[in-house]
Structure 1
Amino acid sequence: MTTVRIDHLVTSGTFSLDGGTWDVDNNVWIVGHDSEAIVIDAAHDAQAIAQELGDRVLRAIVCTHAHDDHVGAAPELAALTGAPILLHPDDDALWKQTHPDRTPDGSLAHGQRITVAGTELVVLHTPGHAPGAVCLHAPALGSVFTGDTLFQGGPGATGRSFADFPTIIRSIRDELLTLPPDTAVHTGHGTSTTIGAEAPHLQEWIDRGH
């Protein structure tokens, strides 16, 4: 039996919303073992992600939310691998801004369990940065994949369309800060952190948001 592991790839491109475009680096997370895996957020470069996968069977392309920098390469990666694209339906409107002619293959729902390489990831619906934002908690790996909901240093941005600050604070408080303190937080951009490192700052974030 091969060991389950988390592989990490950084891809670069742009993020566009509300008439603006910004250069961004995205974290792509691959969870699995030598035979199969899932990809969390197919960002920017399908060929680079496919190369990192190698000959592993890709079981799913899981989207933490539908901003274009997180889903831009998803259809191409799906075409290369045959893997289904999974997205929470509350982000369908955002998805259509990037891929009007290609719908996701399946839905994500709060409490849903995704199993890969014998390891379970639990879907946590964490709206705020986007209506259909989700995090993926892998208890056996001591990890949570937070997309743009929680970063090292605070919540994801809520200043653009489809976002709401009180909602993201509620999501973080109720769904993430209740996880074990030593849980590794693997983010959509930047450096990983832990629940224990971020939890003490909740009130600061609330105060900063007013």
Structure 2
Amino acid sequence: MHISLIGMARSGKSYWSIKLAKHGFRRFCCDDLIAAKLGSNLTRPDGTTIEMGEWMGFPYEHHYKKRESIYLTYEIEVLIEILGYLESPKNNPEENIVVDTTGSVIYTGEEILRKLCRYTTVVYLPTPPEVQEQLLKAYISKPHPMLWKDSFSKEPSETNEDALARCYPRLLFARERLYDRYADVKIGYYRRNEKGFRVSDFLNVF
């Protein structure tokens, strides 16, 4: 079984991919692979490590657009490598694999997404409106890599935080339509967070 998990950051993709890995799935974590490609970009002069979210920054910062582009370039490279593994006749077709994608997988291009749909079952983990405010607060307090594309703008009278709060729902709305387009299966937020919902229940959904 080959599975790709898609959805916003903090939707549970890593949680479930790690659970699946403990049940014998080979796990490809796109964020970890992107971080490896970024290499020295994530190291301060004193040798300490910078989190990718800190490195990328917020969309109102002057360096953001350039780093957003660098991140997406590496994300595309990572997915091409994963798809190469999935396509290779040398690998066991019976191997269970889970691809833990980033929230920005939908920006990697039609060809990559078409192949991801061909070689994996694409599972979308949606986040309902009532939890989206929590996601925004988590992003502001501890930023993770977030590709805003054209969804962010700032009015002259706005604070940075007000602009993020206004634009975040716009970003989610744009992404949700794309996640829906490519998903084979959708597992609802409350369903997958039910007490006692296990890996076997997750897999039985599809």
TM-score (norm 1): 0.32
Q: Which has the higher contact order (CA 8 A, sep 6+)?
A: 2
TM-score (norm 2): 0.33
Question: Which of the two has higher C-alpha Rg?
Answer: 2
